[in-house]
Chain A
Amino acid sequence: MATSSQQVPLLHRLSDGAVADIHFATLEILERTGLRLYDEEAVTLLKKAGAHVSEGNLVRIPARLVEWAIQIAPKRIPLYDRNGRQVMALQGNNCYFGTGSDCPHILDHRTGARREATLADVVDGMRVCDYLPNIDFVMSMFIPSDVPVPISDRYQMEAMLLNTTKPIVYVTHDLDGCRDAVEMAEVVAGGPDALRANPTACCYINITAPLRHNGEAIQKLMFLAKKGLPSIYVGSNTTRGVITPVTAAAAVALGNAGALAGLVLAQLVREGAPVVVMRTGGGGLDMSTMVSSYASPETQGYRGDVCHYYGLPIFGMAGCSDSKLPDEQALAEASLTLLVDSLMGANLIHDVGYIEYGLTNSLEMLTMCDDVIGWIRRFMEPQPVNRETLALDLIHEAGPDGEYLDKDHTYRHFREEWYPRLMNRDNRSNWEMAGGKSYREVAREKVEQVLETHRAPELDVDVQRGIRAVLERAANSAGVRLS
């Protein structure tokens, strides 16, 4: 279910002129400064297409190539659930929400303590995601510390495929991991053609720096482009003041340059290769704590304007916090970023549930955010203003002394109101009688209840075996034992 449609007005932070300036700055960075690509095949491909190559891997991409790639790249990327239903259309300003990947820690809802995450936590996380109505797609949430490191990405993929029917955004260590993840998804979809026709999974590829693209990232991008499968290629973590100049405009232009370089490469591999670009949110290095903030306000909204200018699907980032606990700060930062990403029409909004600037994930936080997203979705729905909703005859009939509780009109429309699932609107005495619980306590109980009762439908045994076979093969070639 998309939050909004083209009919909902978007929030703009930049004027048309400012967006054009950022676009031209991006073209200049790619053409004048250039970028280093740590992959020979990619360098050769770009050179053939007219890019200027020096120092072996310093590639300067002419503006016309970038403009060409923007033009031919798909503006619409559909994603399907396990049952072959198209549940997401990354296009326009449709908003979808999901978790983030690879937090080394969990804030355990059972104990309240932070500890290293395990494979069981990934499984629990996917079960909760599968249940939560406003979580549209999943990412692994945790790095499992109790499985062999070289194949931990395969364990994550297996846990995601087994425990939720929702679309998956996966992250892998390298090209081999990416191949294995795709093969696992193909097993579930019923073969390579089935997966290509109805893609259920999308690879999130991150690069070292906007102008420095590591070999693994490029190889994954080219592999997926060849297969015609979707990927997300963002212009890296653009920590302002460190990886980019500290000012928002430069950070957005540099990040854009990194993302568009990937877009060019993907289109050269296969015209029409589906790529999601950019990443909203996030921000600067806090110059006092040295932490790279997940919720700073400066660049919020900028990237949306630039991406909408291209019409390309946007990777969002919201529902996350720098707080160490799922507390008041966490909910404030999560709610603000979720609202901003929705208002600017980001399509694939990830990192919901992150605390501690992306090092810790919390199922309580995720569950609280789900309710916040419900609020935002209702807020973003178009509000019709017409004869029925203005109800002038009703107002006139009721007159100045009338009331509306028992009217048919009220009965017809009251279900359109949004009701929270966890947020409390009880009067005080009822709330006290029910235990006087905080929002977080209610969320914790919800998590416990979901983990006890909710399971995604099991995959066929043969399919499960097929996934395991990929995992076993990876374990063999890495020389590690399955745990």
Chain B
Amino acid sequence: MANYESLKQAVIDGNGARARDLTQRALDEGRSPQDILDSALIPAMDVVGDKFARHELFIPEMLVSARAMQAGLAVLKPLLSEGESRARGKVVIGTVKGDLHDIGKNLVAMMLQGGGFEVVDLGADVKPARFIEAVQTEKPDFVMMSALLTTTMLSMKETIDALQVAGLRDRVRIAVGGAPVTERFAKEIGADFYAPDANAAVLKARELAVRA
């Protein structure tokens, strides 16, 4: 569809106003909100994500694209039913207890949004009880935890154990990340996956969301 091509291009170019207008035009032409989302907005962000992975695009450019995608999505949101609006899946994310470092976590959150995920950001120094509460109320597909310090990494295990005790562990896929975190550590504490950087986190979540 020529229409979708220019909508996709508007998202890739980071042109929010054009993405919004073209989304509206597609609706006016009778396309369904779900089709616009699945065939234009999300594929456009996939192109952006792939370009970023190939070092052809830089983070600020990707964020501008994500914002353009959100502008299109804002037009669709009121028309999408509850289930549909969670295009890719829902993520609850936070920096774990005792750790105030939230930059890596923020980066992952921004990139997840760019990748079409709905993100609930709990902030930094998030205690296990707060994660549990969020899993109960938000019903996310993923819980993602970040830590920068070797000492606070242990809060990740504490959180997973708390989710287990609360009987919520199997309702979500758990990801961990942060400079000191390793694949081995992730396995040891019973996380579902580990990603070495923000883009890898999005790619893995994308892969798991497709399989789910």
**Size bin of chain B's contact surface:** 20 to 34
A152 at the interface (CB under 8 A from B): yes
Q: Which residue of B lies closest to A239 (CB)?
A: B103
- Whether B55 contacts A288 by the Cβ 8 Å rule is yes
From known contacts A208-B100, A239-B103, infer whether A116 and B182 are also in contact, taking CB-CB under 8 Å.
yes
A324 at the interface (CB under 8 A from B): no
Q: Given the complex, which residues of B lie within 8 Å of A394, measured CB to CB?
A: none
* B94 CB, nearest partner CB in chain A, Å: 15
Q: Given the complex, which residues of B lie within 8 Å of A288, measured CB to CB?
A: 52, 55, 58-59
- Whether A214 contacts B100 by the Cβ 8 Å rule is yes
- Whether A150 contacts B151 by the Cβ 8 Å rule is yes
Q: Given the complex, which residues of B lie within 8 Å of A287, measured CB to CB?
A: 58-60
DSSP class of B's interface residues: helix, strand, loop or mixed?
helix
* A458 CB, nearest partner CB in chain B, Å: 30
DSSP class of A's interface residues: helix, strand, loop or mixed?
loop
A242 at the interface (CB under 8 A from B): yes
Q: Complex: how many Å from CA A174 to CA B150?
A: 12
- Whether B199 contacts A149 by the Cβ 8 Å rule is no
B22 at the interface (CB under 8 A from A): no
CB interface residues, A 431-467, toward B, < 8 Å: none
Q: Given the complex, which residues of A lie within 8 Å of B182, measured CB to CB?
A: 104, 116
Q: Given the complex, which residues of A lie within 8 Å of B101, measured CB to CB?
A: 208
Q: Given the complex, which residues of B lie within 8 Å of A285, measured CB to CB?
A: 59
Q: Given the complex, which residues of B lie within 8 Å of A227, measured CB to CB?
A: none
* B84 CB, nearest partner CB in chain A, Å: 31
* A29 CB, nearest partner CB in chain B, Å: 19
CB interface residues, A 169-186, toward B, < 8 Å: 173-174
Q: Complex: how many Å from CA A243 to CA B101?
A: 10
Q: Which residue of B lies closest to A174 (CB)?
A: B151
- Whether A359 contacts B179 by the Cβ 8 Å rule is yes
Q: Given the complex, which residues of B lie within 8 Å of A208, measured CB to CB?
A: 100-101
- Whether A152 contacts B150 by the Cβ 8 Å rule is yes
- Whether B150 contacts A289 by the Cβ 8 Å rule is no
A76 at the interface (CB under 8 A from B): no
Q: Which residue of B lies closest to A144 (CB)?
A: B150
* B188 CB, nearest partner CB in chain A, Å: 12
**Binary contact track A457-482/B, C-beta < 8 Å → 1, others 0:** 00000000000000000000000000
**Binary contact track B140-164/A, C-beta < 8 Å → 1, others 0:** 0000000001110110000000000
A379 at the interface (CB under 8 A from B): no
* A142 CB, nearest partner CB in chain B, Å: 11
* B209 CB, nearest partner CB in chain A, Å: 22
Q: Given the complex, which residues of B lie within 8 Å of A173, measured CB to CB?
A: 149, 151
- Whether B107 contacts A104 by the Cβ 8 Å rule is no
**Binary contact track A271-290/B, C-beta < 8 Å → 1, others 0:** 00000000000000101111
6 smallest CB-CB distances across A and B, nearest first, come from: A287-B58, A208-B100, A287-B59, A288-B55, A173-B151, A290-B197
Q: List 8 A-B contacts (CB under 8 A).
A: A149-B151, A152-B150, A241-B60, A242-B107, A288-B55, A288-B58, A289-B55, A290-B59
Listed in ascending order, the chain B residues whose CB lies under 8 Å from chain A are: 52, 55, 58-60, 100-101, 103, 107, 149-151, 153-154, 179-180, 182, 197-199
